[in-house]
A = this chain, B = another copy of it.
Amino acid sequence: MSKSRIINLLRNGQPDQQVTIQGWVRTKRESKKFAFMEVNDGSSLANLQVILEPTLDNYEDKLNKINTGASVEVTGTLAESPGKGQNIELQAQTVTIYGEADPETYPLQKKRHSFEFLRSIGHIRTRTNTLGAVMRVRNACATAVHQFFQQHGFLWVHTPIITTNDCEGAGELFNVTSFDLNNIPQENGEIDYSQDFFGRPAYLTVSGQLEAEAMALTFDRVYTFGPTFRAENSNTSRHLAEFWMIEPEMAFCDLKGDMDWAEAFLKHIFKTVLDQCPEDMEFFNKRIDDSVLATADNIINQDFERLSYTSAIALLEKADKKFEYPVEWGIDLQSEHERYLCEEYFQKPVILTDYPSDIKAFYMRLNDDEKTVGAMDVLAPKIGEIIGGSQREERLDVLEKRIKEAGMEPEQLWWYLDLRRYGTVPHSGFGLGFERLIQFMTGMQNIRDVIPFPRTPDNAEF
């Protein structure tokens, strides 16, 4: 454990310091008098430049083996770098080559590779600048999520992945079964689920919210952070069949409190990532999307505008702008409407509240007008909807009615209704897709490039 990580040397290394590094060769350049190699160990975007002098043991042989992708250990002395772009370099005293990489077959060549090609080598693509930066930002972001909630006394709760609730995502659910699919037991012409692992049909979860509500009614503040699933046959740059979701749930919390938490959460996440990964974020701004830093700044420093869906519709109707989808009270807002509000009208993040009940889920709290529910969506410039949440219906009779209206049977949700029978409280929560958050934060165009091994229709390689 006595080696140095390259990020620490680049930030704090001192000339004459004796160090050992381990990593992979990114490039090699030879001159008449000596050679350079750039070594990366995954800790930072930048490589450490290593100077190789001919006095090294087996210099020629080693130089032949030092190719892009090879793994090396170098011990030497740090020195001020005369070159531009780095402060420090490493003068090698000993070099060990652990594993070579044949330049003829190594899939990463010096040229630029398309993200599509890189997806076909998911086991190696993180060795590129962009995918490496994505995964570091992803880790910093995930850590910031835990940090935010733990600081505020939330418990991380692991809600179930396998569920028998089919009420929320009918048609988009993956089945989970231990049946041999070639030989599914039947009884009276129907599948005999009593012989399946769970004794009844089971699915992959689409959300941990209902279970998180149960936990919030004991622990007051909880959050989930785990994988969720959609068997939706959408081959787009914004859809994954498997993605991670974050769902906080707060007891004794109304819609205003919900908005306060969501705003504080987003500000914390963006601020922390900028703080932890400044080089990576600058890289995204320079190479991927030049609005990335401005968007982050906007989220961190602007108070979010809060207004009702009804007021938003009025603004959109008055707008001097032709929308593809016509605006009227009751519609689901389209991306063009959301972008107009954030990017043109308010020019900052916007939280819309109190949507028509017809376009929102059964568990959202019915307002006194009986036409709208206590829902809220957070919209951000360049991003669109990033968070969706609501106050939950805490009144037993209203919830039962809403469940029936949604075409479901209250008996199936007996335990969820129990939460309203025994010690019910006003409570609220929200959810956000972790990969969408990373996508927005980094400016990456395709969601498949912000998760290590994406699962999409016809694709579950690695």
Contacts and interface: CB of A to CB of B under 8 A. Distances in A.
Given A160-B242, A177-B175, A71 B424 contact: yes
Contact of A22 (B124, B181, B220, B416): B220
Contact of A124 (B69, B98, B176, B418): B418
A197 B231 contact: yes
Q: From A175, A218, A420, A458, name the one whose CB has the most chain B CB atoms within 10 angstroms.
A: A218
A378 interface: no
B202 A42 contact: no
Given A219-B42, A423-B101, A460 B182 contact: no
Given A155-B135, A181-B184, A233 B99 contact: no
A332 interface: no
A23 interface: yes
A305 interface: no
Contacts of A132: 218-219
Q: From A24, A191, A451, name the one whose CB has the most chain B CB atoms within 10 angstroms.
A: A24
A331 B450 CA distance: 45
Contacts of A162: 174, 229, 241-242, 455, 460
A75 to B, nearest CB: 13
B24 A135 contact: no
A242 to B, nearest CB: 5
Contact of A191 (B181, B200, B415): B181
A197 B220 contact: no
This chain's copy number in the assembly: 2
A422 B163 contact: no
Contacts of A139: 155-157
Contacts of A22: 220, 251-252, 425
A219 to B, nearest CB: 3
Interface in A443-459: 451-453, 455, 457-459
Nearest to A7: B153
A323 interface: no
A146 interface: yes
A385 interface: no
B252 A126 contact: no
Given A191-B181, A252-B3, A158 B218 contact: no
Given A161-B242, A175-B176, A176-B175, A135 B215 contact: yes
A282 interface: no
A81 B190 CA distance: 65
A78 interface: no
Nearest to A219: B42
B161 A161 contact: yes
A117 to B, nearest CB: 15
A56 B214 CA distance: 31
A388 interface: no
Interface string A142-168: 110010001001011111111110000
14 contacts: A22-B425, A43-B219, A43-B220, A107-B422, A123-B211, A123-B419, A135-B219, A143-B146, A158-B452, A162-B229, A162-B460, A164-B461, A175-B176, A177-B181
